[in-house]
Amino acid sequence: MTGLEIGLVAVVVMLVLIYIGMHISIALMLVSFGAIATLRDSGLATRMVAAAANDSLGSYLYGVVPLFVLMGLLVVVSGVGRDTFDVFQRLLRKVRGGLGLATVGANGIFASITGISVASAAVFTQVAVPEMRRHGYTPKFSVGVVAGSSVLGMLIPPSLLMIVYGVLAEQSVGRMFIAGIIPGLILAVSFCITIMVLAYAFPDFMNQKGHQPVADQEGTNPSRLALASKLIPILILMLLVLGGLYSGFFTPTEAGAVGACGALVLALAKRRLTWGSFYKVLGETGHVAVSILFLILAASLYSRMLALTGLPMSVAQWVTSLDLAVYEFLFVYLLVIILMGCIIDSVSIMLIVLPIVLPIAQFFGLDLIWFGVITVVAVEIGLVTPPFGISVYTVKASLNDDTVSVKEIFKGVTPFFIAMLFALFVLTVFPALSTTLAYLY
């Protein structure tokens, strides 16, 4: 077999293994090792595994992964999500669809200090959904707005997907973070517009028929000082992490360390952290960080295997021989990413596709920062598409309510899926929205 044939067989076998349930990192490692051993010999395959481990995980940059994960989990424990939602709920209580808007706003703030969509989905399912249902919103809208807006955590910096893309594409993680600011705001505004359209044009989708308005409970009219006291700690943590990062005072890894320390101080100050919960946070941080780093290790070996077979360059030459225009290539690429999101998780999609597609993007002369942003947005859409839809299943698991089915959640998230497609179209047509701030960094 030629190198190209071995590469094609390796990719097909890997997809089959993932489809039948094997973990993505194990599938990548086994297939890559087998392909290299077939192409050359097992000794070279063993040495390449060691080299991939040393080169992939020995870098100072990778310290950003466990540090931002630790910060995000400490923020969850500190109750910041509930405090943020309380503030937005109070400010928007008289606006039609106000609780939906409050959920999007609170999710945006929460995303800027966690970077994990699953955390946002879990927190706001428990915080926002009961409150929205109490005020007469339909179950499908209540869970839909939480599942839809939770994806902001993958775009608004800091974002774990941005870190993964930066590593795979050899782009500055700090620059990727900055490139996500305007797209994140565009996505949040798209969600808000969607909620307003639903409120005025499709009220039956949002409001339960015959529900009596709920009066504010006695003693639940906090003063401006009380609201400020809830929001100020969050804003200080944002300013500390993002301000230091964007000003160039911190590297991304240092920003993660400072953020984790700040989140620890915040959790202690709010008296939400016990020895038991702290031990649990450290354990979860280890599980999440190790799984991500092992995926990166596997992806590094996978990339080396593909380079050895010559598959990426062969695919790039084949695509260019089709005389596709740039936007025709982007349409096909983004469509494939969205369809893959129906069956595979976000990080896995990037690890499988990017080593093959990046050479093609470079041939077309595409800016890799902008290419990364639209890739992340397209991958995010997979978080809410059936049958995988990890944000949808996170909401279902956190809801603990048998009366709301997974099908109902998918129905509720459909308008936000459309909003994400619109945002992806805008960001694809206008690259400057992603690159202007990034190149000022």
The residue extents of the domains of the chain are 3-208+220-440
pLDDT at 131 (0 to 100): 78
Question: Residue 211 — very low, low, confident or very high, per pLDDT cuts 50/70/90?
Answer: low
Token pair for residue 319?
């695509």
| Reported confidence tier of residue 219, pLDDT bands at 50, 70, 90 | very low
CA dist 126 and 250 (Å) reads 34
The pLDDT of residue 119 is 67
> What CA–CA distance (Å, rounded) separates 381 from 126?
23
Biggest distance spanned by C-alpha atoms of the chain:
76
Give the length of the chain. 441
Residue 400's pLDDT is what? 67
Q: Using CA atoms, how far apart are residues 51 and 292, in angstroms rounded to an integer?
A: 18
Span 38-55, pLDDT tens digits: 887 777 778 877 777 776
Radius of gyration for the alpha carbons in the chain, expressed in angstroms and rounded: 22
Q: Between 386 and 264, whose confidence is greater?
A: 264
- What is the average pLDDT across 176-202? 90
**What is the pTM assigned to this prediction?**
0.76
Rounded CA separation 109/235 (Å):
9
CA 115 – CA 163 distance, rounded (Å): 10
Tokens, residue 220? 């639940």
Higher confidence at residue 216 or residue 277? Answer: 277
Q: What integer pLDDT is reported at residue 87 of this predicted model? A: 79
Angle 171-176-182 (CA atoms, 0-180°, nearest 5)? 150
For the cut 80, the answer to whether the pLDDT of residue 375 exceeds it is yes
DSSP state at residue 153: G
Q: Which residue did the predictor score with more confidence, 290 or 192?
A: 192
